[in-house]
Structures are given as structure tokens and as C-alpha cells.
Structure 1
Amino acid sequence: MLVNVNNLVSISEANQNFSKVARMVDEKGTVIILKNNTPRYVLIDYSKFEESVVADNTTVEDAANNILSKHLKAFKELAK
């Protein structure tokens, strides 16, 4: 994950100005919240979170079956 230094916020600033941090998420997509100058939390838009959960729920077997079904002709040719 690439981190934009303009998206870094201290935990105290996030606590005191949460609406400002929420606006940053709306504008920039993600905000990294620092605790003791170390990245500790990620605040993201819920729709982006849902997308990542769906991707995580796809099993390796499902992904392999999807690839095989799309490219079955090529795999059969390679198997000759």
C-alpha cells in the first residue's frame, strides 16, 4: 500500500477534528492515523472496505476456476 504523506494525521488531531479527517477521506480516499509517530490505523471509505472484503472472500480455488474457464482453449493447446 502506497502512503501519501499528505494523508497522515496524528491520533490527537483525528480525535479533536474527526469531521476534518472524514472530509480528507472523502477527498483523498484514505487517511493514515499515526500513534506515537507510527502508522497505526487506516480510515477508508466504507464502499472501498466492502470492495476489499469481497476480494478477500474469493478463494484461490474460485480464482483458479475463473481463470481456467476463461482461458481453457489456450491451456488445452499448451497441454499438447
Structure 2
Amino acid sequence: MKGYTRAQLALRNGQDREEIWCAYKGKIYDVSSSRLWRNGHHYEHWAGQDLTKELGDAPHTEKVFARFSVIGRLKPVSES
């Protein structure tokens, strides 16, 4: 699985490029097809970021990511 740095992930925020990606538990998901992520944000959550810590504030569980494709892994800071 291809690895992406946090800087590469940040470019997929729905504003700098058409791709809308977010990371969760080290995996990067393509959420571009979701109308809920249009314009790169979903309620108070922003695309192009690692949302692992933020999921606790969401009204759903991590199962929400099952409907999206994993397109890569988030490289640890030590690999960046």
C-alpha cells in the first residue's frame, strides 16, 4: 500500500485538488464520492487530516469508513 506524508494528505482537502481524503488509524480513505464531504468539510471536521482523535466527537462509529476505499497509508512522522 502506498504511503503518504501528512503534507501530501493535506493537499487532498477538497480545495487544493479535487480529491477529498482523510486518514483514520493509519489508513487514508477517499471520501470524494460523499456528498457529506463536499467542499472538503463535514460538520466541524476537515478533509486532508488525520481524523483518528476526532472520531470520538462524531455521532457515528468507525464503521462509517467501510463504505470508502482505502487508497494508502499515512506515513508516521519518522518516515516523512
Shorter-chain TM range is under 0.3
TM-score normalised by length of structure 1: 0.23
TM-score normalised by length of structure 2: 0.23
Larger fraction in strand: 2
Larger fraction in helix: 1
Q: Which of structures 1 and 2 has the larger relative contact order (alpha carbons within 8 angstroms, sep 6+)?
A: 2
Task: Mark the structure with the bigger radius of gyration.
Answer: 1
